[in-house]
Amino acid sequence: MTLLRPAVPGVEESGEFLDSQPEWVPTRALGRAVLVTGLLLIAGVLAGRVDLVVLAIPFALGTVVALHRRPRERPRIALDIDEGYLVEGAEAVAAVTVGNPDPPAYDLVVVRTRIPPWLRIKDGDRPVLLTLAPGAVDQVELRGEALRWGRHPLGPAAARAAACDGLLTSRPGVAYERDLKVYPVTEPFDADDAMPRAAGLVGGHRSRRPGEGGELAGVRIFQPGDRLRRIDWRVSLRTERLHVAATLSDRDAEVVLLLDVLAEAGGSGGIGGTASVLDTTVRAAAAIAEHYLHRGDRVSMLEYGTSARRLRPATGRRQYLTVLEWLLDVEAQPSPYEPYDQVFGPHLLSSDALVVVFTPLVDGRSAEMLAKLARAGRFVLAVDTLPEHVAPEHRSDWTEVAHRLWRLERENTIGQLREHGVPVVRWAGAGTLDLVLRDVARMASAPKGALR
């Protein structure tokens, strides 16, 4: 990546350098030089001593010569980041470019950049010292490992220069912060079982509805409108009645990924450390979305929280990139209100969609939400995102007992959800949902009794 600017005037025209107002202030060195020169001259005149006047001449001449060519503008500074696709654990690249637009040289330039906590830079936010010739441009390269997903504000960056032999110092030139996008690592995931139902006409999963397709659903009696090429002659000759081969239509499945953001638990250690609830939720959601979008299915996103953000269902690589952008803004949203009606308004969830809920089951409203979805006839699958290492922060004599009781109550809640027909599984990467999807698909295709 080449971030070096060709020349200072060209950068000024592009507008990428900021805060170029001509503003310089004297340093203490200039004050001391003027004070010493003045004291020697006054003492020499009052005492009638020529030697004191001669001693003051070098100080006066040095100050005048140093200030003969004064800089007029602050140092120009720009902050650039690599706009490429950056995931957790990869190397992030950024650069701070500093330019000297003045004829005199800068004796010293101090450059400092604020580094976000999830970006591991070798020297951190320590100041970097430079010297710049007239019209020169120099660059400070920032390289480090991106430890966690999200939008990390890199900057602001500031540059302060000293000139005229250290007699003048500039006001700091500032480059505003830039958002460094770090996308979640897509954990390996693969589900071989079919979706319970589907609605579109382009995906790779077979629907459970009759229609034109390549998967055999069974043999039934011929009805008006059936195509003759579908007649099963063996069964027809054996039963002496016309029978046709029924097929399942090739339809895409709609998958709704519902993220429970009411609570956060567990400390996040980045890509190489422990995972919090949001870490597991975001990485698992990215993996499942990538899997189903790759197969041509429609995927939508929904937050169960205060903001109730929603991403409309769509297919293709563009939707996958949109999903990743959407996941960067996921954050915990504790709320004293019940967000169910706000989140699950009319026409938000298709009746045939598979709803995958990522929840730590810490808040009681999360279990109630799952039960309501199941009673409404939705195909719901709950992914337990609570880390196993979660423990109370403040310990006392009763902490261990209380924590065990809370764990038992949570296990009881999970058992009740399973009795309501909501399978709850812990995320474990590839194959996590295979067995559960098989059971959900079997339940969806089972015949329903009719009320008479």
Burial of 108 (0-12, 13-18, 19+ CB in 10 A): middle
pTM for the model: 0.75
Please name every residue paired with 154 in a beta bridge, in sequence order, or none if there are none: 178
- 351 falls within a domain: yes
Q: What was the pLDDT predicted at 374?
A: 86
User: Is 243 in a helix, a strand, or coil?
Assistant: strand
Q: What was the pLDDT predicted at 79?
A: 94
Residues 216, 266, single domain; the answer is: no
Q: What was the pLDDT predicted at 295?
A: 82
Residues 312, 356, single domain; the answer is: yes
Residues 153, 259, single domain; the answer is: no
Rounded Cα distance, 56 and 60, in Å? 6
Q: How many domains does the chain have?
A: 3
C-alpha pair distances (Å), 241 with each of 221, 222, 235: 7, 8, 8
CATH code of the domain covering residue 106: 2.60.40.10
What is the band of 10 on the pLDDT scale with cuts at 50, 70, 90? very low
Residues 221, 303, single domain; the answer is: no
| pLDDT (average), residues 188-198 | 57
- The answer to whether the beta carbons of residues 209 and 249 sit under 8 Å apart is yes
- 388 falls within a domain: yes
Pairing label, strands 354-359, 137-146:
unpaired
- 58 falls within a domain: no
The predicted-structure confidence for 89-138, as pLDDT tens digits, reads as follows 999 999 999 999 988 999 999 999 999 999 998 877 789 999 999 989 99
What is the band of 360 on the pLDDT scale with cuts at 50, 70, 90? very high
Q: What is the rounded end-to-end Cα distance, in angstroms, of the chain?
A: 72
- 55 falls within a domain: no
Rounded Cα distance, 27 and 100, in Å? 19
Is the per-residue pLDDT at 250 higher than 60?
no
Residues 286, 389, single domain; the answer is: yes
CATH code of the domain covering residue 441: 3.40.50
Residues 369, 285, single domain; the answer is: yes
Q: What was the pLDDT predicted at 115?
A: 94
Residues 320, 362, single domain; the answer is: yes
- 116 falls within a domain: yes
Q: Which two tokens stand for residue 120?
A: 């591991």
Residues 267, 416, single domain; the answer is: yes
Q: Which domain holds residue 419?
A: 254-445
Is the per-residue pLDDT at 20 higher than 60?
no
- 282 falls within a domain: yes
Residues 266, 239, single domain; the answer is: no
- 201 falls within a domain: no
| pLDDT (average), residues 30-37 | 88
- The answer to whether the beta carbons of residues 103 and 93 sit under 8 Å apart is no
Rounded Cα distance, 241 and 234, in Å? 10
Rounded Cα distance, 440 and 445, in Å? 9
Residues 372, 245, single domain; the answer is: no
Q: What was the pLDDT predicted at 191?
A: 62
What is the band of 249 on the pLDDT scale with cuts at 50, 70, 90? low
What is the band of 11 on the pLDDT scale with cuts at 50, 70, 90? very low
Residues 240, 360, single domain; the answer is: no
Taking only Cα atoms into account, the Rg of the chain, rounded to an integer number of angstroms, comes to 34
In this structure, the number of other CB atoms found within 10 A of the CB of residue 31 comes to 11
Secondary structure string (H, E, C) spanning 325-350? HHHCCCCCCCCCCCCHHHHCCCCCCC
Q: What was the pLDDT predicted at 92?
A: 93
Residues 240, 304, single domain; the answer is: no
- 354 falls within a domain: yes
Q: What was the pLDDT predicted at 13?
A: 37
- The answer to whether the beta carbons of residues 132 and 138 sit under 8 Å apart is yes
Residue holding tokens 């390996």?
188
Where b means 16+ CB within 10 Å and e means fewer, 36-48 reads: ebeebbeebeeee
Smallest CA-to-CA distance from 369 within 277, 215, 280, 259 is with 259
For the chain, the average pLDDT equals 81
What is the band of 202 on the pLDDT scale with cuts at 50, 70, 90? very low
